[in-house]
Structure 1
Amino acid sequence: MDERNIQGKIFKKIREERGVKLKDAAGTTISARTLIRFEADETSVSLEVFEQLLRNIGICYQDYFSEYLPLVEIDQTGFLTEARRLETLGTFTAIKSLAIKTLKNEKVSIATRLYIEQYLSVIGETDGPQIIRDNRKIVLEHLRSLDKHTVNELYALTFILRTIKEDEFSDDFVRRVIQENLKPIKTDNFFSIDKGERSLLLLNSAIALLSRRGFIEEAEEYCLKAIELLKEHYNNVTHFMFHLISFNYILAQIQLKLNKPEGVELANKCISYIDAQIALTNMLGDSLTRDRLVKMFYDRNKTGIDFEF
């Protein structure tokens, strides 16, 4: 199947699954003959006509793209598909080898470069051979050049900020990322909710980075604004509680760095929350998160006030 020309075939699949006859789908929008050609991907239709065809069979863009997106590989090199398979198998060194092999291709799109950098940041392999370092430079320059980022760029930035070196992104760029993502995204459909989630993840990483760089009071101010933003504009996102707890984890550490007693109180609440979660689910990941948080809280606590855990 030609992944670049399957819109009509997917429309036909959805239409037939819903039991809508071809003549009813065409309606007065286009002729049945033209619809037959469109469904065979022999011709295209205007956006206005396509939107009316969707209405004719009683679906919206979200329904259509839920079928379309899994069949379309934005990364034409196949890196993403293979990397996901290797990730499932837990063979992370093979992902690095795959990245090097992919980058040797003469024509590597920026989308593929973003996926590669995202994976290498996650597995901690950003200081590999020159070809990997060159890719990182290209990706960083691309991200720095933009005033607004796409969903995939937001996600890549999130992981890059966790492995960033001092000279790769300036403090002003980090502030720009924070300020951009403190602007609420209207989350009224699947796609905007997904973008909102990724924006929150990036905001979390950027605030944590600002704190690590020593701008602690500023990071606290941004973190409080992020929590307010989350409660006011993102209470309908799928992982609302995850984001709320994550920002509170950061806020507790920031306030401990500032020797604020409320940092001790918040840290107690964070550990109490995760203890309840462990008691309920008994997940290894939660236990590891608890151990990591306890260490970070104790390392940052200079208040002289004892924790309750």
Structure 2
Amino acid sequence: MEINFGEIIKQIREERGFTLKEAAGTAISPNNLSKFEKGITTIKVDTYYKILENLKIFDPTDITMLMLRYQIQNTSFSEFEKTRFTTPTKAVEFLKTLDIDTYMTDYVYIQSLEVPRKRENLSKEDWTILNRAKTTLFHLNYWLPQDYIIFSLVIHYFDFPTETLQQIAKTALDLLEEPFTDIRQKRALVSTLADIIQTYSRNGHYQLAQDLVDKIELYRIKDFNYQKELLLDSFLHIKMQECYNLLRQDKKEGIELATQFLSYLDSRNSLFPDQTLFQIRNIFYRQVKMLNKTGIDLP
């Protein structure tokens, strides 16, 4: 089936309540976007991704799932969307009907596990796919955004040497600094770095975790531009990991940071109500309550 990418854009735009002008932004004129949606004209790939950014879609996974949604035109797919996070095998079955390669199906399978499922609850099939994805990943000469996302998934299931984590963190930081790295890759990189910080901290490498937080913060405040604004939600996860790292050391600074962070989330939500942000706030609050052994209660 030939994919009408303009129709995909139109479906997303209308479902999310964006006007042609809002979706077009500075990437294209509203009139030309309308023609693209109708299949009258074509656009450059870079323009297509800029439109997706205007529609608040940054994650390559989201884009992949949108393609699947467009291609699978039957009633069972809506059920698949409801259950894909608890039935990974079902997700793979759908992908195989579209002749998606094994690496990609492994990617979706791992993402569909309970995020993340406890190691002791993994099946033999789970471990087979996790090991295959990890082996493929570390045989690649260069990682694309999707590869960093896969690493962010498998890091929860394997004990990687500290030296390996340090090398991946260094590469990710270097790529963040590169001017040619686009916003989708930057989000994948920041997500990967957040997971490395979490792993450092959970393994008791508190200083390594804080050093990485400081390097990312330096990047964030240096040469601030519109791309950094688009990465704001990604940086929130870095700040959350910094707080958790302090609390694992029973430092009162962790509670001070948590209080400031909760105040920021509440202020932002009062101005721009966002269900995702509300969920992040709840997850953060519960985690802080669990880790807090300072004797100081949250306000």
How far apart are 1:150 and its partner, in Å? 0.8
Q: 1:231/1:119 Cα in 2 relative to 1: closer, same or farther (>3 Å)? A: farther
Gaps in structure 1 of 5+ consecutive residues: 7-16, 19-56
Aligned match of 2:285: 294
**Residue 183 of structure 1 aligns to a residue in which SS?**
helix
- Identify the match of residue 251 of structure 1 among 242, 249, 252: 242
Q: 1:292/1:66 Cα in 2 relative to 1: closer, same or farther (>3 Å)? A: closer
Q: 1:139/1:121 Cα in 2 relative to 1: closer, same or farther (>3 Å)? A: farther
Task: Give the Cα–Cα distance (whole angstroms) in 2 for the partners of residues 81 and 177 of structure 1.
Answer: 35
- Identify the match of residue 227 of structure 1 among 217, 222, 227: 217
Residues 1:114 and 2:107 aligned together: yes
Residues 1:164 and 2:181 aligned together: no
Pair member with larger Rg: 1
**Residue 185 of structure 1 aligns to a residue in which SS?**
helix
Q: Deviations over 1:242-292 (max 9, x none)?
A: 123221111112122234343222111011112223434555544443333
Task: Give the Cα–Cα distance (whole angstroms) in 2 for the partners of residues 269 and 74 of structure 1.
Answer: 36
Aligned match of 1:202: 192
Residues 1:62 and 2:46 aligned together: yes
Residues 1:140 and 2:134 aligned together: yes
How far apart are 1:233 and its partner, in Å? 5.6
Gaps in structure 2 of 5+ consecutive residues: 6-30, 33-40, 52-59
Q: 1:302/1:165 Cα in 2 relative to 1: closer, same or farther (>3 Å)? A: same
Residues 1:268 and 2:262 aligned together: no
Aligned match of 1:96: 89
Residues 1:178 and 2:179 aligned together: no
Task: Give the Cα–Cα distance (whole angstroms) in 2 for the partners of residues 129 and 103 of structure 1.
Answer: 21
Asked whether the equivalents of residues 174 and 206 of structure 1 are also in contact (C-alpha less than 8 Å), the reply is yes
Q: 1:98/1:236 Cα in 2 relative to 1: closer, same or farther (>3 Å)? A: same
How far apart are 1:141 and its partner, in Å? 1.1
Task: Give the Cα–Cα distance (whole angstroms) in 2 for the partners of residues 90 and 248 of structure 1.
Answer: 31
Task: Give the Cα–Cα distance (whole angstroms) in 2 for the partners of residues 179 and 160 of structure 1.
Answer: 19
How far apart are 1:152 and its partner, in Å? 1.0
How far apart are 1:234 and its partner, in Å? 6.4
Question: What CA RMSD, in Å, does the superposition of the two structures yield over aligned residues?
Answer: 4.2
Q: Deviations over 1:222-248 (max 9, x none)?
A: 111112122226643253321232211
Task: Give the Cα–Cα distance (whole angstroms) in 1 for the partners of residues 272 and 234 of structure 2.
Answer: 19
State the one-letter code of the partner of 2:288: F
Identity score, percent:
16
- For normalisation by structure 1, the TM-score amounts to 0.63
**Residue 174 of structure 2 aligns to a residue in which SS?**
coil
Asked whether the equivalents of residues 113 and 139 of structure 1 are also in contact (C-alpha less than 8 Å), the reply is yes
Q: 1:90/1:223 Cα in 2 relative to 1: closer, same or farther (>3 Å)? A: same
Task: Give the Cα–Cα distance (whole angstroms) in 2 for the partners of residues 64 and 281 of structure 1.
Answer: 27
Task: Give the Cα–Cα distance (whole angstroms) in 2 for the partners of residues 74 and 281 of structure 1.
Answer: 28
Deviates more, 1:216-225 or 1:259-268: 259-268
Asked whether the equivalents of residues 92 and 109 of structure 2 are also in contact (C-alpha less than 8 Å), the reply is yes
Q: 1:265/1:212 Cα in 2 relative to 1: closer, same or farther (>3 Å)? A: same
Residues 1:149 and 2:155 aligned together: no
